[in-house]
Amino acid sequence: MRYISTRGETQPLSFQDAVITGLAPDGGLLLPETIPDVSARLDEWRDLGFVDLALEILPLYIDDIPRETLEELVRAAYGTFSHPEVVPLIPVGDVNVMELFHGPTLAFKDVALQLLGQLFEYILSRRGEHLNILGATSGDTGSAAIYGVHGLPEIDIFVMFPDGRVSELQELQMTTVADANVHCLAVQGSFDDCQNLMKTLFADLPFKNTYRLGAVNSVNWARVLAQIVYYCYASLKFSARPPATFFVPTGNFGNVFAGYLAKRMGFPIQRLVLATNENDILSVFFNTGVYQRGDVRFTVTPAMDIQVASNFERYLYYRLGEDSERLRRFMDDFSSTGRAALGSSARDEDFAAMAVDAKDTLSVIRRTYESHGYLLDPHTAVGLAAAEQVSATGPKICLATAHPAKFPEAVNKAVGADVAHHETLEALRGLPTRRTVIPANLDAVRDFLASHARR
């Protein structure tokens, strides 16, 4: 399997090279040359556990790591999870909540980043190379990435986050990690500022090559690949009924895009319902065909306070008939004017989309706790709000993206009681922290990397 860029101006790469490269040199995002059709194999996979199913799916995309070695990496990655099923499905009323937060940082990002950390270590140690990872986070990606690579001699990691715009506990998960290879940068701006700084530096090829920059954000194909597996796993649990509909809280489009690929592979998925907060650029697009940037609104769901979805380009590539030239025109229009549109309606039978405001988010948390004794984090509540409003003929699966204890202020406010706790998080309070505050400009990030990155 080779990997190509959405922009069409990068030579095809092997899987290992795709992992190390992150963002393609032409500024595009990497995708497999083909998407395997596995519809004929679903019956034999129906009763597999999550890890065993991953060991069937991942080799379809990874042909340059021996099968036995890949199995070791996968089992090591998911051996860090506290639940034996890794991603259990919990009935909550008429919705099945898939808990993706049983990894070391209590967020769905662990599913991909624990595996990515294993892949980085394997590839870099074999090549005798060092990598400086540059990431941007709206909360959970940063800590999950840090926990995936902290202490590894082959890697230094630099994580940018919007100062004051992530939860207290999310910040503590990053800044209390004492390993010398971890660098936390509190950027005086929004997450979109952080993401734009990251993409601009990756587009500066001489700088990227000089400082050996790599990516852990979902621009890295391995992140999306790991997430495909839990859609496949969950969809097979309900195969005797009509196909499942997934309700996905999303801001950067990476999570829901993994479900889109699982559906294209032939797994029984009826539809993907994309649920955003008040930063509704994605829901507006799927309902009108217009992709238009607005001002970032800061909400009770900070991981979704995003106006530019970095993975949306991957979906557009397929939506535009895998035509890189058309894609470049679309992205150039958006980059220069903040607005781009398809020539016809963007309605897609694979997707539905809606926005959920903060009032409804808190209301869903309260009602779900009162009715079912089940506690939601605010982001998962956005997905469940969509599940309450969108009909489906088959089972409904809502992705639970974080443990509620990561957002105690919003959760406790909604419930009216001090209920959002987790011992892992409580242990962080009072620990020494390390972070560097920098302005949201390119020179500041470039200077910090030049001073601290190992070449």
Q: Which residues belong to the active site?
A: 109
| Residue given tokens 């129906």 in the structure block | 46
Give the span between the Cα atoms of 433 and 144, in whole angstroms.
Answer: 17
For residues 313 and 327, the answer to whether their CB atoms sit within 8 Å is yes
Which DSSP letter does residue 167 get? Answer: -
Cβ-defined contacts of 21-26 (< 8 Å, 24+): 21/214, 22/202, 22/213, 22/214, 22/215, 22/216, 22/217, 22/219, 22/220, 23/199, 23/202, 23/203, 23/215, 23/219, 25/205
In 303-374, the DSSP E strands lie at 339-341, 351-355
Nearest partner of 398 among 266, 245, 233, 241, judged by Cα: 245
For residues 435 and 186, the answer to whether their CB atoms sit within 8 Å is yes
Give the span between the Cα atoms of 362 and 32, in whole angstroms.
Answer: 39
DSSP calls for 406-430:
GSHHHHHHHHTSS----HHHHTTTT
49: tokens are 């556990």
3-state class (DSSP) for residue 131: strand
Strand partners, 246: 272, 397
Nearest partner of 195 among 217, 173, 221, judged by Cα: 217
Between the CA of residue 66 and those of 16, 57, 72, 227, 383, what are the distances in Å?
12, 14, 10, 21, 38
For residues 264 and 232, the answer to whether their CB atoms sit within 8 Å is no
For residues 398 and 380, the answer to whether their CB atoms sit within 8 Å is yes
